[in-house]
Amino acid sequence: MKSEQNGDSHPQDLCGKLVVQIQSSQMVALWSLRTSVVSAVIVLALSGCGGGGSAAPPATNPPPQPGGFQPGVFQPSSNFKDLCANPRPGALFPDSQGTTEDENSWLRSWSNELYLWYAEISDQNPASFGTPEYFDLMKTFASTSSGADKDKFHFTIPTDEWIALSQAGESAGYGSNFVILAPAPPREVVVAYTEPSTPASNLGLLRGAQILEADGVDVATTSQVNVLNTALFPSAGETHDFVVQDVGSATTRAITMTSQIIPIDPVNVVRVEATPTGPVGYLSFTDHIATAEQALIDAVETLQAAAITDLVLDLRYNLGGFLDIANELAYMIAGPAAAGGEVFDEIEFSNKHPTFNPVTGDVLTPDLFHTTTQGFSAPPGNPLPALNLNRLYVLTGPNTCSASEAIMNGLRGINLEVNLIGEGTCGKPYGFYAFDNCGTTYFSIQFKGVNAKGFGDYTDGFTPNGVGEQLPGCQVADDFEHALGDPLEARFAAALQYREDASCIVTTTSAISSLSINKGSGEGAIARRQRPGAVKQ
């Protein structure tokens, strides 16, 4: 899915406009954002881009029309754009002095113009709320047939943090990616995986380690949730103390970590497993960020050289990202015979916009599978390698979201067999453009994605069993006793077994079902910070 503005579809140019001009739109993506540690798996949703651009003079805003709030009457959002209660200093920003009411009035009109379910927003007086509280009201509060929230993907990120995460693939933290298995007492927090050469990996804090104490408070029982959130989801340069228990250890140990800006390795394990029926590739893919493009190409070329006969794609912790990255990977899995010239996905906006993309002005047409690089981190226009597979095994969980789900949906649209091993996915067939206003980047659902068959109704997720869109496969809990890519790890082992005879093995490890949460619910729950802090889209 390309984001084209003023005839320019290059993602670096679009992000340059966010950095320098701070214009209204960003690259489209069905994304699920990760935390400020980039690593906590509690969970959101995003879009993104690259870098570049040039400076531009501040925008000039027409004055708001007189009359104040009138329910059901909306001025153009441009009347309020960049009118800020606290304008950012400097020539790079288009901010002008305004009020909180101006910022809220922009949110109100912008939501009415672009929000997918605009008719389900309860119109509220923008003068009556602070801006964070007002944004929280600019959504539907309806539920799906399963009782889940219809819109689980409504959030904000400070613009400077969003730029660092989406463009450079960096975020503040220790390099340890946490899974919160139980957000309320008795809580349980474990390490899902660790980025290499980081404070966490240097201290041997690896997959499966339990976090028992943070800054002197007991993780399981404390009522001091702010202490836990601050320690688990730090800004760069913070030092915090922990007591942890490693997998297989009967004792605990104390560690001290100082957070830093962590580069994300989006393709962290690539290996080939020999089996009696041919070599099977394993690829752990954790983030659809710009740097993933070249990393995925390198991984596919490695697997291609090994002549793999099947692929196990591990998306259990992949919250999403650039939809174009998902499109490229889907093509590299299927190859030109199956995907060349075929539709990967098509986006649908609200009934206000049946023909044209309201952000770019382009005519709405289906997006075909990409056969060449898009220029995120690889030179644009180069042919993509291909594995030419006719089936795929995907390791999933509740943090498999957005662009990750789009891979599966896009491949199912061209009749490629997709098998799920793990748990149900998050259920996000939606996306948005990122909009900056006054230093905050807003994410609000603006479109729905469907595949070549017109299917996109998986708001309760894809699942191998249970509620949601059912796919063939096995229900298998996450196994924190083995490393990702270890053939003894429960989900990978189950995928190998299912590939052999379509049976589901029973694991004997102390595997635990992972739990993703949007924010704390109830007394003593660990709450999501209003930043890429705890983790849904």
pLDDT digits (tens, 9 = 90+) for 50-61: 222 223 333 344
- Return the C-alpha torsion angle 193, 198, 203, 209, nearest 10: -20
| pLDDT score at 382 | 98
**CA torsion sign, 476 to 477 to 482 to 484?**
positive
Name, in order, each residue with C-beta under 8 angstroms of 73's C-beta and a sequence gap of 6 or more.
none
Alpha carbon distance 377, 28 (integer Å): 17
Neighbours of 2 (CB within 10 A): 17
Q: Are strands 280-285 and 310-314 parallel, antiparallel or unpaired?
A: parallel
Q: Retrieve residue 123's tokens.
A: 């119109």
Per-block mean pLDDT, blocks of 10 residues, the chain (537 long): 31 22 32 29 27 33 62 97 96 95 98 98 98 98 89 92 75 92 92 95 97 97 94 95 97 98 94 97 95 97 98 96 95 98 97 96 96 97 98 96 96 98 95 94 96 95 87 96 97 98 71 35 32 27
| pLDDT score at 164 | 76
Neighbours of 249 (CB within 10 A): 11
Q: Are strands 462-463 and 469-470 parallel, antiparallel or unpaired?
A: parallel
DSSP state of 500: H
| Residue carrying structure tokens 């660790």 | 194
10 Å CB burial of residue 383 (0-12, 13-18, 19+) is exposed
Alpha carbon distance 109, 102 (integer Å): 11
| pLDDT score at 511 | 41
Is residue 108 within a helix (H) or strand (E), and if so which, with residue range? helix 100-114
Picking from 335, 521, 317, 485, the residue whose alpha carbon sits closest to that of residue 402 is 317
| Residue carrying structure tokens 């028992």 | 212
- The contacts found for 381-386 with CB under 8 angstroms, 24 or more apart, are 384/297, 384/300, 384/328, 384/331, 384/332, 385/297, 385/300, 385/301, 385/304, 385/332, 386/300, 386/304, 386/331, 386/332, 386/333, 386/334, 386/335, 386/336
| pLDDT score at 514 | 42
- The contacts found for 215-219 with CB under 8 angstroms, 24 or more apart, are 215/240, 215/241, 215/242, 216/241, 219/187, 219/188, 219/189
Cα-to-chain-centroid distance, residue 521: 21
CA-to-CA separations, 144 to 48, 150, 457, 459, in angstroms, rounded = 27, 5, 11, 7
| pLDDT score at 30 | 40
Task: Report the predicted TM-score, pTM, of the whole model to 2 decimal places.
Answer: 0.80
| pLDDT score at 308 | 98
| pLDDT score at 507 | 55
Alpha carbon distance 361, 60 (integer Å): 21
492, 486 contact by CB (below 8 A): yes
Residues in the chain: 537
Alpha carbon distance 488, 494 (integer Å): 9
Q: Are strands 267-273 and 280-285 parallel, antiparallel or unpaired?
A: antiparallel
| pLDDT score at 168 | 64
HEC letters along 508-525: CCCCECCCCCCCCCCCCC
Q: Name residue 46's amino acid.
A: L
| pLDDT score at 11 | 26
Picking from 225, 235, 188, 237, the residue whose alpha carbon sits closest to that of residue 210 is 188
| Residue carrying structure tokens 């209660």 | 85
Picking from 378, 359, 316, 343, the residue whose alpha carbon sits closest to that of residue 455 is 343
